[in-house]
């Protein structure tokens, strides 16, 4: 089916409730994160919650990588307290950035998780790179730029189909 390419491997309310220890036990070793509305509201610095999560994941043994379509200044600002590797202006959903990130983390695509809030960039790109894609509900949609607001309308349709096909009952507003 056409929409399947946009379906995430797993779907979570937040990047902060994922059982990363379980995923580590399953053999995952690298995590590629989107920033805006995945870990913090659009344009925000890494807050204490994000830093605690990411540093904790590094302590478990995960490699962390940021993949963003944003400018370097944005990614660099977020990354100041974390110190992970990153690619800016990544041209997501092109799989090249995802594959380069995995290689940089010394991971195969099968060992790599991708966490993001957008189907047409984060999730589709991860799927194209044969990586496990974890969709999270956006942190704050009020900060979305107009092009993202428009994409969200189409995402809502696909997410409804995804939830129905996976027999997941969840109200999505």
Q: Please name each of the domains of the chain with its CATH number.
A: 2-165 (3.40.50.1000)
pLDDT digits (tens, 9 = 90+) for 41-57: 999 999 999 999 999 99
- Is the pLDDT assigned to residue 90 strictly greater than 80? yes
C-alpha 141/C-alpha 158 separation (Å) is: 17
> CA–CA separation, 129 vs 137, rounded Å?
22
pLDDT at 149: 65
Residue 168: pLDDT above 60?
Answer: no
User: 158 is written with which tokens?
Assistant: 């696909």
User: Chain-centre distance of CA 37, in angstroms?
Assistant: 9
Share of the chain above pLDDT 70, in %: 88
Give the integer Cα–Cα distance in Å for 8 and 10.
5
**pLDDT on residue 145:** 66
Report the chain's terminal Cα–Cα distance, integer Å: 24
Mean pLDDT of the chain: 90
**Res 105: pLDDT:** 98
Sign of the CA dihedral with 113 first, then 144, 70, and 59 last: negative
Contact 133, 122 (CB under 8 A): yes
């Amino acid at each position: 089916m056409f929409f399947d390419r946009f379906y995430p491997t797993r779907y979570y309310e937040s990047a902060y409730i994922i059982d990363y220890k379980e995923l580590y036990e399953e053999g995952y070793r690298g995590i590629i994160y989107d920033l805006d509305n995945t870990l913090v509201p659009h344009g925000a610095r890494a807050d204490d919650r994000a830093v605690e999560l990411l540093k904790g994941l590094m302590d478990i043994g995960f490699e962390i990588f940021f993949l963003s379509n944003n400018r370097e200044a944005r990614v660099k600002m977020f990354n100041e307290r974390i110190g992970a590797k990153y690619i800016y202006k990544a041209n997501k959903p092109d799989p090249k950035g995802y594959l380069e990130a995995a290689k940089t983390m010394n991971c195969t695509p099968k060992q790599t998780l991708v966490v993001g809030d957008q189907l047409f960039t984060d999730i589709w790109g991860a799927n194209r790179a044969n990586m496990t894609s974890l969709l999270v509900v956006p942190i704050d949609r009020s900060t979305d730029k107009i092009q993202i607001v428009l994409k969200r309308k189409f995402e809502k349709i696909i997410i409804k189909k995804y939830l129905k096909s996976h027999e997941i009952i969840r109200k999505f507003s």
